Structure 1
């Protein structure tokens, strides 16, 4: 109880927090690299359960468990959006919502539209069934691709299937600012707000566990918003802590280090394809809490690994992570369909080079110009995703 009062006495409701935290760019870089390597199998085989990147099980497990990078993205997105909205303090609630959604559109839509346009022409060139292509494209445009997988399983375009995660994030972005306005309007104290947010995450965890016990497909549970939004809510909970409390740095460093060890253990113990039952029985929530602890420590500058996270390579990758996430899967798919022989390392290297080149072009000629417009009109705020 004494510790709680000690932390609460350091409340930050009147303190300005940094708009940009380089260490979080580094975490974003780590997350996208995990996802990136987990998709190498698309270069080698159309079936992720058959493709083995190397002859060594331990290394293959590293690649397979890369899907946990998406969970890091979820937590980080929940953390950043909530931190941003708390920072704005709801001085102008209607204006705040308008600014928020306009910023999101300028950040997210240009690169997404570019990917969908390029994918459209590539699919026509490859004679992909037009009805499936159109349906998948429209769902992607509306950020409903996760539900498209559920509603039209077996009749979706695999090249765009990975956009399911963006669907979950955008659906959260639509609802969560409105919830936060309600919290502010009702003058709910921070300690109650963080408790309610965490409780919502627990409800989602229980809901997912119940669906799993009732035989719902692991793939459907993996992409359904109602079964995955706990990670974003946990990120939001940590944002409340970040905004209103200052945990002693030594404690944060210890917690973050322990969380990192726990993350690595879970990654190698349960990180396989198809996704291990552990994750649907509470594991995704555990991963989110571990990731949230690391993110909080990194944001505070309290973790010893911050010097790695703020390194130039990781922060650069973090800044272009959205484009890399959008472009690498279509590149890998096309390469996998048209380059079917040759040494695996060489084919993977070709995929890395092409994906990196396309990402760079996207950053300089598509994303950055719109980011400049966003920053001129609405200020330089944390990039989400």
Structure 2
């Protein structure tokens, strides 16, 4: 999608589409604890464990946000009040529509509406917004910190590492005090800060990821192996009890941050030529409408999986279920387009420019050599 600056990065839309597919597939596969694919199932191929634990797609979204905003705002003077207004125009219309639809659904189902709206009110701070809206709360917290993070990164290139270390230390303290840190690590900025920060750092160090094919394969293999172990140990829901008291949630956000930020920088810098073949165009469209797909899919993904499993064919086989998930995900792209066109696009036209022309920075950042950076566009 084009930002209000007029810049558009199709490669990053591919990644956004992949993240949406990961989250969609996680919900599709595990519509209930035992169906269509049981939580206890572990794929034989380690790479598929990332899809089986597709909740990690949210972390990919977060790392992409950090990378994208560092890319959009690098070397520019930013007017932050218009920036915050633009983000509100981008996120709030559809979120408010989803909140209203969910309220109607709960009312018709005879559920407690007063408690629901209390949770919506708490959603400004706590992860209580419906249909994945909790992650919008995390994004909003990131936007409030963004001016400070960008300023620190300009003054000291590796400042994000210091903040990541502070986030890890905070999770250790919470783990010692509460006996579990999964709640904070997955549902709040306390965990996802690592991914935003790593995305910012990855942008500034992106030249070192350019063309590193063997390194990218090694990172993917290692990450797949780790997630295979995590999946076999119980994964998101079965590192019992839930929320899990296991120590892995202290460092899992950091591992995701490192891998995803490197992968984003690698893909963005290595494959600079616009790809026009059908699969890439589909992923670009999925990325363009990913916000709508992400917020809307929980209205139907569980029921869709159950309907296929009960009325079309048995999809308890993990790989068959993944194929069906891909088909259903493709079918949501037109829904995402309609949502984008009718709800999001009218408000996006109200956005204003929030960046000033690039100026010489009196505090130069130690970044990639100019010649190398110019090759990356």
| TM-score class, shorter | 0.7 to 0.9
Deviation at 1:371, TM superposition (A): 2.7
Look up the match of 1:97.
Answer: 80
Look up the match of 2:262.
Answer: 293
Look up the match of 1:269.
Answer: 229
The answer (yes or no) to whether the contact 2:13–2:284 under 8 Å persists in 1 is yes
Structure 1 counterpart of 2:109, from 99, 103, 126: 126
Provide the secondary structure at the position in 2 that maps to 1:311.
helix
Structure 1 pair 308–364 and aligned structure 2 pair: CA distance change class (3 A): same
Aligned residues: 329
CA distance in 1, matches of 2:248, 2:172: 9
Cα shift readout 1:235-279 (whole Å, capped 9, x = no counterpart): 11112334xxx33734x3333332222232223221323275464
The answer (yes or no) to whether the contact 1:324–1:359 under 8 Å persists in 2 is yes
After TM superposition, what 4+ stretches of structure 1 lie above 4 angstroms from structure 2?
Answer: 59-63, 302-310, 333-341, 343-357
Structure 1 counterpart of 2:159, from 182, 193, 196: 196
Look up the match of 2:344.
Answer: 367
Unaligned runs of 5+ in 1: 1-16, 149-156, 381-385
Deviation at 1:198, TM superposition (A): 1.2
Deviation at 1:110, TM superposition (A): 1.3
The answer (yes or no) to whether the contact 2:23–2:54 under 8 Å persists in 1 is yes
The answer (yes or no) to whether the contact 2:10–2:274 under 8 Å persists in 1 is no
Provide the secondary structure at the position in 2 that maps to 1:98.
helix
Structure 2 counterpart of 1:237, from 201, 204, 214: 201
Unaligned runs of 5+ in 2: 240-245, 356-377
Look up the match of 1:5.
Answer: none
Deviation at 1:165, TM superposition (A): 1.8
After alignment, is 170-179 or 111-120 more displaced? 170-179
Look up the match of 1:324.
Answer: 293
CA distance in 2, matches of 1:260, 1:67: 17
CA distance in 1, matches of 2:115, 2:306: 18
Look up the match of 1:247.
Answer: 208
Deviation at 1:37, TM superposition (A): 0.5
1:112 aligns with 2:92: no
Q: Which has the higher helix share?
A: 1
Provide the secondary structure at the position in 2 that maps to 1:162.
coil
Structure 2 counterpart of 1:282, from 242, 248, 251: 251
Structure 1 pair 305–202 and aligned structure 2 pair: CA distance change class (3 A): farther
The answer (yes or no) to whether the contact 2:36–2:305 under 8 Å persists in 1 is no
Aligned-pair Cα RMSD in Å: 3.7
Look up the match of 2:9.
Answer: 21
Provide the secondary structure at the position in 1 that maps to 2:195.
helix
Deviation at 1:216, TM superposition (A): 2.5
1:222 aligns with 2:186: yes
Look up the match of 2:137.
Answer: 167
Cα shift readout 1:46-76 (whole Å, capped 9, x = no counterpart): xxx4444279641884553101111111111
Structure 1 counterpart of 2:55, from 67, 71, 91: 67
After alignment, is 213-222 or 70-79 more displaced? 213-222
Deviation at 1:173, TM superposition (A): 0.6
CA distance in 1, matches of 2:195, 2:224: 18
After alignment, is 32-41 or 328-337 more displaced? 328-337
Structure 1 pair 22–169 and aligned structure 2 pair: CA distance change class (3 A): same
TM-score (norm 2): 0.74
The answer (yes or no) to whether the contact 1:77–1:235 under 8 Å persists in 2 is yes
Look up the match of 1:378.
Answer: 353
TM-score (norm 1): 0.73
The answer (yes or no) to whether the contact 1:38–1:66 under 8 Å persists in 2 is yes
CA distance in 2, matches of 1:39, 1:261: 24
